[in-house]
A = this chain, B = another copy of it.
Amino acid sequence: MSAQSTDIHLRKLRMGMVGGGEGAFIGAVHRKGALMDEQIELVCGAFDEVPERGRAFYSKVFIDPERAYGTYREMAEKEAALPADRRIDFVSIVTPNHMHFPVAETFLEAGFHVICEKPMTTSLELARQMRGIVERAGKVFVLTHNYTGYPMAKQARALVQEGKIGEIKKVIVEYPQDWLLTRLELQGQRQALWRTDPKQSGPAGCLGDIGSHCANLVHYITGLEIDELCADVTTFAAGRLVDDDVNVLIHYSNGARGILHASQISAGEENNLKIRVYGDKSSLYWSQEHPNYLYLYAPGAPVQIYRRGHDYLSPMARLAARIPPGHPEAYIESFGNIYLAAAASIRAAESGVEPAERLDHPGVEDGVRGLAFIETVLESGRTRQWTPFKEF
């Protein structure tokens, strides 16, 4: 079997997973995204905080029962002890937030590459430590801000870089959902439970869960850094321990103005991430729920809609599309693109051979910036003041 090839370019990469067992949401998305492009196979996991539940999960993902581990520590140890042609190449961490740090630290120090869910840690201090660990380990570290994996987000970035937008004056990014409109956490829904529990999610609720995607997407597309911000942080659901609605005014360092809002109590909203970037030449608009289209508006000219899959797109946007125009790609494919980028980085790191072209992916620096954003917003919300962005 080619899977045993010793040439990392002639075999699938071997992935292990921490988290993602029964009742999880994002773990299955990671597996689908990772597997769909024929570059990666899942070979082991520590899928659940309850060891027996995690071990039993092997039958759902059709792996060797021997490699469905009870704990992530056991997994790191036993995988490290396997021969090179069997052990994993990397681990994918899809646990609640508070476990990102210890799991990532363990696997990085055991010599594995890491793909990690966001937010990277539960505090800016831990995020800075993670950056140090990654640097010392010299391993690939990928943060799954998956929205940057969409082809048209890449096209948006390219339009900014090509100067089509001009000097940026205003950025509006928004991410309303409604799934926490009521106290779903009281009904035992697992996603709601950990995401509203500060011990697992960290001090931010909605802000960390989806607000952090907004801030990351703005930075990805525009390259802008935040200078200061003024935040209105609210918990609408009585008794909930974390925020569920966040509205922020922003001053970017180039003088641009920004609005960022995220909500998990906005009735009828599904996953409505949208971004608008206004420059002095033109503006762009992208909506995650209709991801194959990017709108460019210039004053006094017809609107232009860029569509996924065309040759007129930037190299990165073209590379991120699998299939021709009009055959829509979507959310899982955006994870697939992060995994394709990660696989290319890992193969390059292991072999020293850089591929002709490869997709980009977010990394540890994005993770630190994300925690700085979270902590600045929380402070501004508390003090009701314009607050300088935390150093990171």
User: Which residues of A line the B interface, CB within 8 A?
Assistant: 1-3, 10-12, 25, 28-29, 31-33, 35-39, 42, 58-65, 165-166, 169-170, 172, 174, 176-179, 181, 230, 232, 234, 236, 245, 247, 249, 251, 257, 259, 261, 263, 265-272, 278-283, 288-292, 296-307, 309-312, 322-333, 384, 386
Contact = CB atoms under 8 A, between A and B. Distances in A.
B305 A303 contact: yes
Contact of A62 (B11, B172, B268): B11
Contact of A249 (B230, B290, B323): B230
Nearest to A259: B247
A288 to B, nearest CB: 8
What is the copy number of this chain in the assembly?
A: 4
Interface centre among A177, A236, A251, A298 (most CB of B within 10 A): A236
A2 B41 CA distance: 14
A89 to B, nearest CB: 13
Nearest to A297: B268
Interface centre among A1, A179, A181, A328 (most CB of B within 10 A): A328
11 contacts: A2-B58, A32-B36, A170-B266, A177-B326, A259-B261, A267-B299, A269-B283, A289-B292, A291-B328, A327-B331, A330-B330
B322 A28 contact: yes
A234 B249 contact: no
Given A10-B62, A271-B325, 4 more contacts: A181-B299, A267-B278, A288-B328, A329-B331
A188 to B, nearest CB: 17
A62 B11 CA distance: 5
Interface SS of chain A: helix, strand, loop or mixed? loop
A257 B247 contact: yes
Nearest to A249: B232
Nearest to A29: B323
Nearest to A9: B59
A169 to B, nearest CB: 6
A296 B35 CA distance: 36
Contact of A35 (B38, B177, B291, B303): B38
Nearest to A7: B59
A311 B288 CA distance: 22
Contacts of A179: 324
A169 B245 CA distance: 10
Contacts of A247: 249, 257, 259
A310 B170 CA distance: 24
